[in-house]
Chain A
Amino acid sequence: MSELRQEAEAIAEQFSDHTDVDPDDVEERLETLVDEYRVPLDEASRSVTNSYLEDAGMERDELGRGGSEEVLVDDIDEDEQWVDLRVELVDLWEPRSDSISQVGLLGDESGTIKFVAFETSDLPELTEGQAYELSNVVTDEYEGSYSVKLNRTTQITEIDEEIEIGDNADTVEGALVDIQSGSGLIKRCPEEDCTRVLQNGRCSEHGQVEGEFDLRIKGVLDDGETVSEVIFDREATEKLTGMSLEEAKDMAMDALDTTVVAEEMGEDVLGRYYRVTGPTFGRYVLVDEMEDPGTVDVESALIEARSI
């Protein structure tokens, strides 16, 4: 089958739920654009799709992409895919923009994923703790983490079911090769719901504020093949370094300098191997659990190395 024919059938398939589109007709239109007018195939296919949309009086986001597939949230690993989900609304967050009607976290047995619904889509409001079948949602990717967008074609069906929410935590292992700036003893904005880290006593949202001390480590785990950025929150940092927030404050007070804390922590943790587990947020794995991988099993390492 030619590339053109494949594309033609894919386009026809997208319209199959809505209107009758003949693949032969699509192929002919594509052929005209591609062969006669030298339009690249993807542009041609866009243009042909648009003309069918116009004929049918449809919006682009009404296209079903030939019926989407039910997937688990943790299996979502591609941008702009149309999928169906069976999920429970785990958490609702405060929308940061007027164009967003709802934003929060959906979960199924494989884990959780962020979702966004827009005002313009005119969808019924979702309720926390309720399970739904959502068909026709679109996946979205930002800096390696995935979310789903609801849109005007999304069908929302309440289902009477308890969904056990899974844990899609990632585990990464490697040597801690760097502690990034913004680690050690930090100050956070005290404003309600604002936890931004202050830069020179200033919050990027609320300006000059009296900050509250906190501990964290933004570190880099490196296994020789890939690097992973990880964040240890106060609890994880205290466990990792054995230094409490009070001790850190005393240390900074004695030195009249907060940076000594991160330096001191570096002495204890840089160059050591760790295995950490936690959810991924943006570029970072937020450390929930941490273990020292301990003594290496030389015998099995040897067997493995010889077998490569």
Chain B
Amino acid sequence: MSQSAPTREVARRVFASEFNDAGYTFTESDDERAPVYALLPTGESSNRVFFVGTLTEKEDVGEDSEYWRGRIVDPTGTFFVYAGQYQPEAASKLRDLEPPAYVAVVGKPRTYETDDGTVRVSVRPESITEVDAATRDRWVAETARRTVERVAAFDDEGNEYARMAREEYDLDPETYKAAALSALEDLDDSGDELAGDDPDPAGTPEP
């Protein structure tokens, strides 16, 4: 009989505004090595994410050893990425990168509770690479689509992660849909500018 190979966790596409709201984590079994999932408010489990945005700031916040924090901005908000000695490649990448730069990040959601009890969600990167604007645009379009799909399936019968999201959060999934569509609309507008729809400030002569 065939035995299925261990399956790799898919990298969810999620905008920063939704990701930062995903403070509830859970496991699917009692095994101590069971993967930990962050619950997306649009009703999906997430053990890994892939996102593309603009690295705007980086800072070594470590005390004894290097511990890099990067702020990576998408159309809806900011992802916080932390990489230290256990993510040597990602840490050295953050050290070398000069903001602003478009970067693609594959990583795992991590949560921690601050002293005042708020839960912060961040990313522990598996890889960070510098990419171009076309990759960023593709990611925005893809993530908008995935987000809208999740919201559309939110009221489906048997959508257990949506049920979980209703129990754990007091968040309206429609707000993420609105943010996703608006991110896509902004992309559409900037595309028009590049296509030459903006007024011609140089005043080049008519042909």
Contacts of A178 in B (CB 8 A): 8, 106, 126-127
Interface residues of A in 169-220 (CB under 8 A from B): 175, 177-178, 220
Residue of A nearest to B4 (CB): A143
The verdict on B73 contacting chain A, using a C-beta distance below 8 Å, is: no
Find out whether the CB atom of A224 lies under 8 angstroms from the CB atom of B4.
no
The verdict on B57 contacting chain A, using a C-beta distance below 8 Å, is: no
Contacts A222-B10, A272-B131 hold; do A305 and B181 have CB atoms under 8 A apart?
Answer: yes
Interface residues of B in 69-112 (CB under 8 A from A): 89, 103-106
Contacts A143-B4, A227-B10 hold; do A295 and B106 have CB atoms under 8 A apart?
Answer: no
Partner of A227, one of B4, B8, B137: B8
Residue of B nearest to A304 (CB): B145
**Docked CA distance A226–B13 (Å):** 12
Contacts of B188 in A (CB 8 A): 298-299, 302
Find out whether the CB atom of B138 lies under 8 angstroms from the CB atom of A224.
no
The verdict on A40 contacting chain B, using a C-beta distance below 8 Å, is: no
- SS class of chain A's interface: helix, strand, loop or mixed? mixed
Contacts of B135 in A (CB 8 A): 271-273
Contacts of B146 in A (CB 8 A): 224-225
* Stretch of A9-17, A108-116, A119-127, A262-270 that contacts chain B: A262-270
Find out whether the CB atom of A271 lies under 8 angstroms from the CB atom of B145.
no
Partner of B149, one of A293, A298, A308: A308
Contacts of A142 in B (CB 8 A): 2
Listed residue (A144, A267, A271) with the most chain B CB atoms within 10 angstroms of its CB: A271
Residues of B within 8 A of A (CB): 2, 4-5, 7-8, 10-13, 48, 50, 52, 89, 103-106, 126-131, 134-135, 137-139, 141-146, 148-149, 152, 180-181, 184-185, 187-188, 191
Residues of A within 8 A of B (CB): 141-144, 175, 177-178, 220, 222-227, 263, 266-267, 270-273, 283, 293-296, 298-299, 301-302, 304-306, 308
9 A–B contacts from the bound complex (CB under 8 Å): A227-B7, A267-B130, A270-B106, A271-B105, A271-B129, A296-B137, A302-B184, A305-B145, A305-B148
